[in-house]
């Protein structure tokens, strides 16, 4: 996993899963998890780590749990970046 900070992209996991904060995005604070190669996108709300699926296709349960654990382990940093990105817009 690596920190990116390019156009709101915070992390890449396994080179295929992107965790992104879009500039000028709406409240409440959240990240987008995107797997373009599989046409998957969902939001994870930072207040309670709840998931909102945007696309019909979804990650496997195992991969989604791994992403949620990653977000939880980096939550303070992700919240700081979300506020920083939104403030700059």
What is the length of the chain? 89
Rounded mean pLDDT, 17-26: 92
Question: What is the percent of the chain with per-residue pLDDT over 90, rounded to a whole number?
Answer: 74
pLDDT reported for residue 8: 83
Distance CA 10, CA 74 (A): 11
- Positive or negative, the CA dihedral 57, 71, 63, 21 is positive
pTM of the predicted model as reported, rounded to 2 decimal places: 0.88
Radius of gyration over every alpha carbon of the chain, rounded to an integer in angstroms: 12
pLDDT reported for residue 88: 62
Residues 50-88 have pLDDT tens digits of 999 999 999 999 999 999 999 999 999 999 999 998 886
């Amino acid at each position: 996993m690596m920190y990116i900070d390019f156009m709101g992209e915070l992390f890449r996991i396994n080179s295929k899963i992107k965790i992104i904060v879009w500039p000028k995005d709406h409240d409440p604070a959240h990240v987008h998890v995107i797997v373009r190669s599989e046409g998957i996108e969902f939001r994870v709300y930072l207040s309670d780590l709840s998931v909102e699926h945007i696309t019909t296709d979804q990650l496997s349960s195992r991969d989604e749990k791994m992403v949620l654990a990653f977000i939880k382990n980096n939550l303070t940093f992700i919240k700081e970046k979300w506020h920083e990105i939104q403030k700059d817009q």
